[in-house]
């Protein structure tokens, strides 16, 4: 299936159709291949550290008057959920005879995960990263380089994730025979949205079993941040056929004006007017009246992207999932609250989901599962600057 309702598809130059077809065929073959699945599962368990646990957060729960649990992707090797997908794609690429991985990254975690997978599997790795993101995620740039990856700065456009994807696609077109493009989120042309979802669904599959074992029931609500949407679709997928509310939380940034946020579902008019094509897929995106892509902003580099994965667009349109947005200030406040009440420091991306629970679900007494998609050490300099600016340091 190349589409989710009207969303998705394959919108690429003719030069990319052959590698897209090659990738689709290989993915469909190896996803059903027991030897491939065995090798991937061994990597996930003995190298990446799966299964990650679910943690009940009692003090935080008391403060918000709900029963809150975290799916701890922050405890996965490299510190975020991204490694699930990078190991899967890297192993697939190696089976296809590719020797070189390229990737884009915003917050740096996908770049780190891809560099890690490349190091483990003995492959060359090049990561494209906007210069704006390189400055605010300098810690992860060092990690990638130490892992043996070449980090190529991208100074075009907004110098963030969108522009890094553009450069990675140009590289792929020029090096098709040797190279696999390891796309980090549930975006892009088919088969990427499906492939990334399938490599990330381990999050939800584990969580569903674990939550039942811990509580004897399913959660009332599952909450996850949404940039491109890989961590959210990874946990949502297991609960799609259950009576569980699914909430995706976007970056509300510093305001509602153009260029001040990255909330694709936050429209003043008919959302269908905001459907377009970006990076090979048809989906919801931020664009002006003439179809030009609008600039975006978020304190969290991993949510700073003008489009959303096509399956999320489908879940929004069919009302199976709901989407909201959280401002920078609320996200940082949530970061601090979870850190101080539970000793768990979430990524700023995950902090948006935590902030949603604080703002919208206080006093609900619901059983809530939040996907803590990454750890927050990469964001310490950003939080420090914010605290200094608010007179807290």
Give the fold, CATH level 3, of 3-46+82-196.
Answer: Rossmann fold (3.40.50)
Q: How confident is the model at residue 156 (pLDDT cuts 50, 70, 90)?
A: confident
Alpha-carbon Rg for the chain, nearest whole angstrom, is: 19
Would residue 230 show up in a list of annotated catalytic residues for this protein?
no
Pairwise CA distance, residues 53 & 72, whole Å? 6
Over residues 90-147, the pLDDT tens digits come to 999 999 999 999 999 988 999 999 999 999 999 999 999 999 999 988 999 999 999 9
List 104, 250, 311, 342, catalytic entry: 104
Q: Which pair of structure tokens corresponds to residue 195?
A: 């492939």
List 300, 333, 350, 373, catalytic entry: 373
Would residue 298 show up in a list of annotated catalytic residues for this protein?
no
Over residues 264-291, the pLDDT tens digits come to 998 655 566 689 999 999 999 999 888 8
Pairwise CA distance, residues 83 & 73, whole Å? 10
List 67, 71, 73, 82, catalytic entry: 82
- Delimiting residues of CATH 3.40.50.1100 domain(s) in the chain: 3-46+82-196, 49-79+201-389
Would residue 373 show up in a list of annotated catalytic residues for this protein?
yes
Instruction: Name the CATH code of domain 49-79+201-389 (choices 3.30.360.10, 3.40.50.2300, 3.40.50.1100, 3.40.50.10190).
Output: 3.40.50.1100
Q: Backbone dihedral region of 354: left (phi > 0), alpha (psi from -120 to 50 degrees) or beta? A: alpha
Residue in this structure with the two tokens 């890989």, named with its chain if needed? 230
**pTM listed for this prediction:** 0.96
Residues 6+ apart with CB under 8 A from 319: none
Pairwise CA distance, residues 337 & 331, whole Å? 10
């Amino acid at each position: 299936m190349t589409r989710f309702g009207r969303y998705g598809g394959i919108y690429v130059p003719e030069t990319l159709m052959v590698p897209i077809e090659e990738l689709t065929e290989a993915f469909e073959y190896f996803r059903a291949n027991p030897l491939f699945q065995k090798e991937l599962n061994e990597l996930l368990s003995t190298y990446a550290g799966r299964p990650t646990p679910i943690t009940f957060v009692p003090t935080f729960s008391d403060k918000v008057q709900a029963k809150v649990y975290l799916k701890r992707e922050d405890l996965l090797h490299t510190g975020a959920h991204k490694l699930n997908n990078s190991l899967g794609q890297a192993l697939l690429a190696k089976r296809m005879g590719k020797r070189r991985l390229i990737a884009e990254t915003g917050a740096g975690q996908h770049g780190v995960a891809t560099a890690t997978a490349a190091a483990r599997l003995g492959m060359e790795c090049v990561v494209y990263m906007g210069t704006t993101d390189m400055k605010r995620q300098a810690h992860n740039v060092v990690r990638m380089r130490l892992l043996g990856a070449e980090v190529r700065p991208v100074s075009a456009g907004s110098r963030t994730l969108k522009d890094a994807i553009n450069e990675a696609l140009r590289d792929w077109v020029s090096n098709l025979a040797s190279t696999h493009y390891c796309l980090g989120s549930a975006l892009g042309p088919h088969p990427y949205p499906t492939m990334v979802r399938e490599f990330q669904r381990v999050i939800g599959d584990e969580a569903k079993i674990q939550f039942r074992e811990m509580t004897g029931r399913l959660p009332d609500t599952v909450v996850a941040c949404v940039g491109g949407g890989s961590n959210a679709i990874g946990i949502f997928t297991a609960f799609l056929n259950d009576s569980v509310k699914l909430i995706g939380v976007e970056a509300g940034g510093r305001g509602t004006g153009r260029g001040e946020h990255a909330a694709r579902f936050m429209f003043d008019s008919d959302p269908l007017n905001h459907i377009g094509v970006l990076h090979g897929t048809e989906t919801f995106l931020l664009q002006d009246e003439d179809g030009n892509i609008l600039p975006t902003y978020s304190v969290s580099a991993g949510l700073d992207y003008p489009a959303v994965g096509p399956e999320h667009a489908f879940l929004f349109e069919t009302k199976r999932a709901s989407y909201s947005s959280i401002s920078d200030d609320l996200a940082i406040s949530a970061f601090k609250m979870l850190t101080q009440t539970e000793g768990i420091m979430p990524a700023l991306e995950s902090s948006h989901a935590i902030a949603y629970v604080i703002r919208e679900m206080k006093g609900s007494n619901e059983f809530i599962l939040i996907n803590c998609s990454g750890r927050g050490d990469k964001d310490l300099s950003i939080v420090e600057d914010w605290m200094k600016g608010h007179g807290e340091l």
